[in-house]
Amino acid sequence: MISSLIVALAGVFGLFNVKKSRSQFTKVVIVLLGFSAIASVVNYYEISSYAPIAVGFFSLLASFESTSSFSMKRSQVAFFVLSGFGFFVFSMASVLPMDFQVLDWPFLILFFVGFGYHWHKHGEKIKSRMGVLVVWSGLAISWLFTLIASMF
């Protein structure tokens, strides 16, 4: 319950950052990712059961959207592509039945380290995609919260 609330709040805060992007396609990606994160708490017609699938696919879309930017450096594009692909894989792993357990905490730690690095070094260049980063951070925090809560 708390983890889905964290994801929904991240979706709302991600939608607040739509104005910072200049590209229409970036705005569409942020809106789709934000609404799919908000859908994780909607129980109407069991929309919340399909929300991780939408978050995964729109994360993949957001990751490849960054490749069309000419102002971003290669390290920033690589960060977005790898992060989006990681969130896609772990969102699908939470929905699809698999015979093995996928460890997500190393990816989440690397995501936060990469996010902190790029925010510190290239803060102005990634502000246009802050909505995507807010939603991804909310997902990462909720997954870490679920992991820590399962230990106790």
Cα dihedral 68, 71, 76, 78 sign: positive
Average pLDDT score over residue span 58-83 = 90
CA 147 to CA 126: how far, in whole Å? Answer: 29
CA nearest to 127, candidates 55, 69, 52: 69
The model's pLDDT over 95-133, given as tens digits with 9 standing for 90+, comes to 888 787 778 899 999 999 999 999 998 877 788 899 999
The count of domains in the chain is 1
Range of the domain at 18: 2-151
Give percent of the chain above pLDDT 90.
Answer: 60
> Residue 135: is its pLDDT beyond 90?
yes
